[in-house]
Structure 1
Amino acid sequence: MTLLNVVALTCEYRKNPLGIDIKRPRISWKIESDRRGTMQKAYQLQVTANDRDFTTTTWDTGVIQSDESIHIEYGGPELKPRTRYFYRVKIWDNFDRVSEWSETAWWETGLLTSDEWKAEWITPDPDGIDPLSEPAFLLRKEFTLKTGMTSARIYGTGVGLYELYLNGERVGDELLAPGWTSYHKRLQYQTYDVTEQLQNGSNAIGVMLADGWYKGNLVREDNRNIYGDRRAAFFQLHVTYSDGTEEVIVTDNTWKASTGPILFSEIYHGETYDARLEKEGWTLPNFNDQGWIGTIVQVMPITQMVSQENVPTRVTEVLKPIDTFVTPAGDTILDMGQNMVGRIRLKVKAPVGTRIVLKHAEVIDKDGNIYFGNLKFAKQTVEYITKGEGIEIYAPHFTFQGFRYVKVQGYPGQENGLPLENFIGEVIHSDMERTGEFECSDPLVNRLQQNIVWGQRGNFLDVPTDCPQRSERLGWTADAQVFIPTALFNYNGGPFFTKWLRDLKADQLPDGNVPFVIPNVEGGKGSAAWGDAATIIPWTIYQTYGDKRVLAEQFDSMKAWVEYIRRQGKNEYLWNTGFHFGDWLALDAKENSFVGATARDFIATVFYAHSTRILRDAAEVLGKSGEVKEYSFLLDKIIEQFNLEFVSPSGRLVSPTQTAHVIALMFDMVDGKAKERTAYELNQLLIQNDYHLNTGFVGTPYISLALTKGGYHETAVKLLMKDDFPSWLYQVKKGATTVWEHWDSIKQDGSFWSDQMNSFNHYAYGSIGNWMYRVVAGIDMDTAVPAYKKIKIQPNFAGISFTQAKAAFESMYGRILSSWNLTNETVEIEVEIPVNTTAEILLPKANLADVLEGNKPLVSGDIHSYLEIKEGVRLTVGSGFYHFRYRNESGLRPSFTEDTPIIDFLDYMEAVAVLEKFAPGITKPPAIFSTKARSLKELAELQEVNLTVDKVKAIIGELKTLALEAVLVE
């Protein structure tokens, strides 16, 4: 029996989304097959409204001859509001097989149009409750339902943050709703299915409201009420009965209001909760609310309501503390074992009025005391006051903290040690689907990968923040754009970034400038590499997911940003005016400066070209031929002017920094001899710095890719494997469990970088993950065919000291796997390619006659497209699982470890490569070089001696020096 199934149906990236207001939603699916090389040849998609059995259909595509299986746009009649649509898919493949219908999936529309709203914005009567007071508001209403109820939905939102209750229970598990948007221009509403929470007869609904991002303290200590100074709620409940009638309960001035146990709750500062003030039963019917005050209808500055676009923020994992200890200063500390973002849930039994205080921090200082200095004015403090009635359990509601360590004060009996079982850490972030994994045989690199993922989890909390602990936590554009390639490997970020880009577009200034942070609460304007988020992020989403709609939505924004740059200064082909952050936090910065040494107009012009190229390519995808022609010309002129301005006639860059060379290579600003020289000089800069980088936010994300692209992959490997300062693994060896903001956030002597700006959870430098996935493990794509429809598998283990690496990525089409294992004798590579895609695979340094696939010679198997080339064996395959094995030729051996006697050619070959690259015209190398090289080779071949690491390093160091001295380099 053959296997051909349609699985994993999604609508707008999500499984069974509830309450969407997209009028032409898109359907995607994946395919399972037991045959290699399976491709979809045709599909049929059926949609029906409120009819799971498909006895009638709203839309039936019929049989469509196409291999498209992602983002198939609904093309039926106009969708109705508040309606559930079921859909199913069947496909035909290239082996003349037809699948069964898939399992039925669904989406449900929200309100779709503004005239569907019947609710009013309400807030407590200011004569009874000061609207500027800190305690969270409680709003409630009782109502009666008749029998025969069949379904019920709540649609609604609030400003700032809300929690919704029905008949004594929380509605949904979302946190920090409605999320953070550019509130005046776009406010999200949520939809909840509450059918099971309602009952015949008396019911009660309750809403809790706190300040949140809307009116809480943001950016500066005295900065409040950025969007408004009134909290308010806006909800309506639709109840449908079996007789077809409907009842609607809305927020209006019949609701009642009070305050309760939350005395204070702020994003930066934490929460104070007095359990003695709880209104027990306030969300149940028949509660005595005689002492509650009335509500008023409030006019709010909201212009557009949109259904939830991003995935909700939730508790995604629970961590138990690993230790408790007392510091030299006498503080009692909980250690969660991981720098996390979220909250502590505590359990306690204590006398009434006991005050328990939790203060959150990321690190312990070199003296062993908890360190709060980097929090700036954020308090990160949670206080709980007991009611003294048995066991009490509490977690804060409207705040989050970034922390590993918690200072605990006032917990009963803590002088005898904290009971660890009474504390748990709840990890909170946008509940994105995990799509990527990377692991290897090196534990430090594995820890780095974990740190990258934890950094993303901590900072992808409804918006891509820069840090989650201090008084900032803003959607900095540069951080987001440099990290997005790594981010989309680790997690499905389609909904997350689609929502954030819509806020970027909404907050873009009339002249096309893009603010530093989105949502824009800083008031700042744009900078090169910051504002370029407007082009880089939608293009990366398109490449990763094949999402043309995001390009179409953002195209005007992308164009406006490029045209804004074009208008700057006297020369429209250079960007040499205005403020720029430059290579932020680079180690080559002058004393007491945050800005690296790379010329800012150099960086600005490179990113001008990069955004113009993206705009040109986006126009081509969208069929905008006029813009393709215009921006092709503009790009050529920018590159021409760049070379006149910043490149000498002999090919030398005027900015002699690592970052300048990195971005010139990465974004194809130089060509021919100038490109070769730029790559060579980048490599030289690293050699001269003992293979250490000194790049900042602009150079670091691309340095490894630029080295590999420029022909110096083994230098990129050395950068990764360095474990002294500055390096990625230096952080790991210093105990980091997330990625730091500074290379020396903790200095070599254990002291800290300046308190002014020192986050220990700042994901930008985690962008090395992109290179680890794409180059080390070898999962990449043909960029001309987006969404990994045409996959490239090209593992690159030259110069790598570990012996095994594996990466997997759950693409829109299915799971892609690239795994390699290296011994002195063999290379083994395992590859998995999803159905409805093809892949080009490179087996490095393989000889065609040597290669086994599935224990059979490749040449006699079922793979018929292969070619032996200089780099190895290149083959083209369809879907399926493949296991390759071949002899390990010289150059692929794993590097030796310290103190291990070993005969190894890696460094010998590297020295020869140095000579060949820098002295190609020398027909007879210096005699001493030839003698040394020959001696090393003969020793290795004859195995007359064991070469230790130190001996090999000494010989190779001398060889390299001699090779470089043999040539006069400008």
Structure 2
Amino acid sequence: MLSVSQIMLNGEPCLMGVDALPLVGWKIESDNHNVLQRAWHLQCSTRADFSSLIFDSGEVVSEQSNNIELGDAVLSPSTRYYLRVRVTDNYGERSAWSPSAAFVTGMLGTPWQGAFISAESPSDKAESKVTLLRKAFALSPHKAITAAWVHATALGIYQLFLNGERVGNDELTPGWTSYRHHLLYQTYDVTGLLAQGENVIGAELGAGWFKGDMGFARHRNYYGEQTALLCQLVVQYEDGTQQVLASDNSWRGSDSACAFAEIYDGERFDARRVQQGWNRPGFNEASWRAVNRVDWDKHTLTAQGAGTVQQIERLPATALIVTPQGDKVLDFGQNMSGWVEFRLRGQAGDKVVLRHFETLDANGNVYLNNLRTAQQTIEYHLSGEGEEVWHPRFSWQGFRYVKVEAFPGELSLNHFSAIVIHSAMAPTGQFSCSNPDLNQLHHNILWGLKSNFVDVPTDCPQRDERLGWTGDAQIFCRTASYLMQTQTFFAKWLADLKYDQTPEGGVPHVIPDILTGHCDQDKFLAQGGTHSATGWADAAVVNPWTMYLMYGDKRVLENQYASMKSWVDFMQAHADNDIWRYKLQFGDWVALDAEEGSYFGATPEDLICTAWYAHSTLLLAKTAQVLGHTEDYDYYHALQARIVARFRERFFTADGEMTARTQTAHILALCFNLVPDIWRERTVDTLVELLHEHGGHLVTGFLGTPYFCHALSQNQHPKEAWALLLKEDFPSWLYQVKAGATTVWEHWDGIKPDGSMWSPDMNSFNHYAYGAVGEWLYRSVAGIEADETAPGFKHVVITPLPGGGLSWMNARYRSIYGDIEVKWQAQQGRVVLTFSIPANTTATVKLPGAKEVIACGELKFVCVGEQWSARCGSGEYRIEYLPDESVDLTYTD
């Protein structure tokens, strides 16, 4: 039976507030094999029963089922639209109409009638209090409301209320962007919150990223000195008329019960100061003050639509610990980003004080040093009125443990739960195998993502940093996109990268950029500058290309093309005879082959820089080809060839030996295809030698580590790749697992074998960069690979790599076409491989390490260059083959 299971809009199941027609895609289900779509019929309507169509494609003969444009359909602002589709396949079967998907339009370019209003004044620029705004208004008592929408944003963090009820379920809105160029607004359906007659709209505003105390230099007011709200409520009546209420000077303001809220330092809340009913009708606002307007360019406003931060899950406290020093500590069993919610009864003025942190020291005591100046402290004063339940709302904490510094009455685990927050992204990856340590590593990688994808891809969620370091985001991008649907998340962040680029095309180290102009006291950045470090700035090119590979959407390339081109042009402008290097370079950051006391690895900077120069130039050339920019393709393709030739001339000797004898030098040369074919075997052999010189351990840093297993497995050394992954002693991924980690650490030895700590100035235990090995788990171990000639997994390459002494592995990736699933099992001397391919896609399956194919059903395998391969369409398949001696497995009966 043929059916469409789900329609996606810009990669999301629904959109709340868009400025343009979304791209449409759908997933097809069928019992048949080799199913391909032959035609589709798409409709868009303002009514759920599709009785009022604004778009009807008619029957379109096409195999395309994703990234489809709706043509020239005309949209109205503040309106909900419904879409449905039916398809016909290559068997002649036609599906029924799909379940509908909906999107809501935002302002669509119509003028905002309101102004940014604030309950603060410029004299409050050093304040971190939360303020309140309210407006009483009347709706017609004689007209029925058919729909009501509110569009809102803020300078700071806001929460909105209507008649005492919270509007929406988003947190930390409007998020962190390059505010003066790019400010997001959110759209909410508030039809059910309004009443005929008197109503009240209210808002709470906190400093957030906009004016709060941010960055390791601890500056504030990066973007402005006052929090402010912009809000527009649109009420639509049954008779076709509408009423608009906008933020203006008639609103009133006050201070809230939250006297202090800072992202790094936490919150201080006094429940005795809560003004009951402040956001409901009938409240006496006589003591409230007039608001003032804040000038802001509304042309920077963009509808968000999806990807907001939300409360995702709750975790119970698992243990109450009394440390040797006598501190009471709650253990939630998982390092995370979020809040602690507590419930209790007590007397008015009783106090709760919680201090959040990541780990205990070697003696089992509270360890706070790695937080640096971040306080991560919550202070709550009770009102004394019955049971009280509270959690922060204008900050968040990175923690596993909580030191209870004050709590009235008996302390019980039942009083506490942890609320996990991060940007809303659909889970897409699953991985499990017979090795429980690898399963825990996968868990740790996933939780590193959850903890650090809080609106921007931060380096860490706990200390006085939490910045969008471009290097970390670039390194982890592909792994993240196997684990979660990151299309919306990265599109938002890449827009800010584009806006924050220097006029010459340099890319700041962090996005949004709050380092430039605020690093006078930093020993590295004051002299070396705050932009254009290789491997970091290359996020401008690598991340858009990765999004295109994973989701097949050309828009990210179109939107970022000028930025991508500017970055490569910047490198070319500062290259010397095609060898690139510029000011401060992080190089192979925190590599273990660095000199004692240094963060910078031993691989020469000019080698690393030139390797990445070649890599980004190649990706730019490919992008130009995809977008049809023929002249640019020719130019950058030739430039890349010239850079590669220069790299070989500079960094290889005449007899093919690399001039830098480091693991990272050889890894980058191999993975970026900078090695002449005649020298590839020697380069691979040297890499293996360097690995063995360190007892099979890596000594690589941020730029070498993500590619290490790939460099080995793609060059006929799968056993060494597996052995590297499965090392359990320092330094290794599983060293952290064996040490009890629940996320990935910043340093291989964040906690040393003797229990002592790495230097506290930079020692995060929730830092996802080294979790980039997750890409190897999905692309190599499971063998689920995208084909850049048919991106978005329209054509799938299945190349699993059994080994590592495992007896089985199961993996699944939820692509835009549907689930791709791969399982392999070692049975009686054979490998049994099963996999499934979604409808309207095709696949090539390859069997590295296969000596003989025993059974393959309808598949027809051919052996080319000692590798068996076959092509197939959608469906489920089972293969049995005999592995050769390179495959290390534990067989079951």
Scaled by the length of structure 1, what TM-score is found? Answer: 0.89
Higher relative contact order (CA 8 A, sep 6+): 2
Q: Does residue 1:133 correspond to 2:141, yes or no?
A: no
Paired AA for residue 172 in structure 2: L
Of the three residues 32, 37, 41, the one matched with 1:40 is 37
Partner of 2:789: 784
Counterpart contact for 1:124–1:131, Cα < 8 Å: no
Partner of 1:4: 2
Distance of 2:254 and 2:822 partners within structure 1: 58
Partner of 2:279: 283
The 1:844–1:699 alpha-carbon spacing in structure 2 relative to 1, beyond 3 Å, is closer
Counterpart contact for 2:852–2:882, Cα < 8 Å: no
Q: Does residue 1:397 correspond to 2:397, yes or no?
A: no
Counterpart contact for 1:455–1:738, Cα < 8 Å: yes
Partner of 2:525: none
Aligned pairs (5 A) from 1:586-625: 586-625=591-630
Distance of 2:828 and 2:44 partners within structure 1: 57
Of the three residues 91, 96, 111, the one matched with 1:95 is 91
Counterpart contact for 1:119–1:236, Cα < 8 Å: yes
State the Cα deviation string for residues 645-666 of structure 1 (Å, max 9, x = none).
Answer: 1111111111110000000000
Counterpart contact for 1:309–1:496, Cα < 8 Å: no
State the Cα deviation string for residues 301-354 of structure 1 (Å, max 9, x = none).
Answer: 554100115511011010001100111111100000011110000011111111
Counterpart contact for 1:309–1:499, Cα < 8 Å: no
Q: Does residue 1:653 correspond to 2:658, yes or no?
A: yes
Q: Which has the larger radius of gyration?
A: 1
Partner of 1:421: 414
SS in 2 for 1:317: strand
Of the three residues 879, 889, 901, the one matched with 2:874 is 879
Q: How many residues align?
A: 878
Of the three residues 109, 113, 116, the one matched with 1:118 is 113
Paired AA for residue 846 in structure 2: L
Q: Does residue 1:564 correspond to 2:570, yes or no?
A: yes
Distance of 1:606 and 1:887 partners within structure 2: 39
Q: Does residue 1:816 correspond to 2:820, yes or no?
A: yes
Partner of 1:937: none
Q: Does residue 1:26 correspond to 2:26, yes or no?
A: no
Of the three residues 852, 855, 867, the one matched with 2:862 is 867
Counterpart contact for 1:183–1:302, Cα < 8 Å: no
Q: Does residue 1:505 correspond to 2:510, yes or no?
A: no
Partner of 2:76: 80
Paired AA for residue 879 in structure 1: S
Q: Does residue 1:834 correspond to 2:838, yes or no?
A: yes
How much identity, in percent, do the aligned residues show? Answer: 44
Paired AA for residue 506 in structure 1: Y
SS in 2 for 1:695: coil
SS in 1 for 2:210: helix
Of the three residues 165, 172, 188, the one matched with 1:192 is 188
The 1:703–1:139 alpha-carbon spacing in structure 2 relative to 1, beyond 3 Å, is same
Distance of 1:134 and 1:515 partners within structure 2: 27
The 1:75–1:87 alpha-carbon spacing in structure 2 relative to 1, beyond 3 Å, is same
Partner of 2:750: 745
Q: Does residue 1:538 correspond to 2:544, yes or no?
A: yes
The 1:605–1:660 alpha-carbon spacing in structure 2 relative to 1, beyond 3 Å, is same
Deviation at 1:497, TM superposition (A): 0.3
Counterpart contact for 2:234–2:244, Cα < 8 Å: yes
Q: Does residue 1:456 correspond to 2:453, yes or no?
A: no
Partner of 1:663: 668
Of the three residues 220, 236, 241, the one matched with 1:240 is 236
Counterpart contact for 2:807–2:891, Cα < 8 Å: no
Distance of 1:302 and 1:225 partners within structure 2: 20
Distance of 1:195 and 1:736 partners within structure 2: 46
Deviation at 1:145, TM superposition (A): 1.2
Distance of 1:298 and 1:580 partners within structure 2: 40
Deviation at 1:824, TM superposition (A): 3.7
Deviation at 1:100, TM superposition (A): 1.4
Distance of 2:317 and 2:5 partners within structure 1: 39
Q: Does residue 1:143 correspond to 2:137, yes or no?
A: yes
Partner of 1:946: none
Counterpart contact for 1:605–1:638, Cα < 8 Å: yes
Counterpart contact for 2:257–2:272, Cα < 8 Å: yes
Partner of 1:322: 318
Partner of 2:524: none
State the Cα deviation string for residues 120-173 of structure 1 (Å, max 9, x = none).
Answer: 11112649x946433210001111112311110000111100011111111111
Q: Does residue 1:65 correspond to 2:69, yes or no?
A: no
Deviation at 1:390, TM superposition (A): 1.3
Partner of 1:447: 440
Distance of 1:837 and 1:52 partners within structure 2: 30
Distance of 1:158 and 1:490 partners within structure 2: 31
The 1:567–1:336 alpha-carbon spacing in structure 2 relative to 1, beyond 3 Å, is same
CA RMSD between the two structures = 1.7
Paired AA for residue 564 in structure 1: F
Scaled by the length of structure 2, what TM-score is found? Answer: 0.96
Paired AA for residue 547 in structure 1: D
Aligned pairs (5 A) from 1:370-389: 370-389=366-385
The 1:464–1:191 alpha-carbon spacing in structure 2 relative to 1, beyond 3 Å, is same
Counterpart contact for 1:584–1:696, Cα < 8 Å: yes
Deviation at 1:782, TM superposition (A): 2.3
Partner of 1:716: 721
Partner of 1:908: none
Counterpart contact for 1:528–1:581, Cα < 8 Å: yes
Counterpart contact for 1:185–1:302, Cα < 8 Å: no
Distance of 1:777 and 1:701 partners within structure 2: 17
Of the three residues 481, 484, 492, the one matched with 1:491 is 484
Partner of 1:181: 177
Q: Does residue 1:515 correspond to 2:512, yes or no?
A: no
Unaligned runs of 5+ in 1: 903-970
Distance of 1:595 and 1:358 partners within structure 2: 37
Distance of 1:495 and 1:577 partners within structure 2: 32
Distance of 1:510 and 1:869 partners within structure 2: 50
Of the three residues 576, 579, 586, the one matched with 1:574 is 579
Of the three residues 415, 437, 443, the one matched with 2:430 is 437
State the Cα deviation string for residues 618-646 of structure 1 (Å, max 9, x = none).
Answer: 00000111011101110111011111111
SS in 1 for 2:175: coil
Q: Does residue 1:465 correspond to 2:458, yes or no?
A: yes
Distance of 2:173 and 2:52 partners within structure 1: 37
Distance of 1:628 and 1:208 partners within structure 2: 51
Q: Does residue 1:547 correspond to 2:553, yes or no?
A: yes
Distance of 2:890 and 2:305 partners within structure 1: 48
Paired AA for residue 139 in structure 1: L
Distance of 1:394 and 1:77 partners within structure 2: 46
- More deviation, 716-725/10-19: 10-19
State the Cα deviation string for residues 474-498 of structure 1 (Å, max 9, x = none).
Answer: 0000000010110000000000000
Counterpart contact for 1:214–1:228, Cα < 8 Å: yes
Deviation at 1:848, TM superposition (A): 6.0
Partner of 1:105: 101
State the Cα deviation string for residues 706-750 of structure 1 (Å, max 9, x = none).
Answer: 111122111110111100000000000011000000000000100
Distance of 1:112 and 1:833 partners within structure 2: 39
Paired AA for residue 114 in structure 2: A
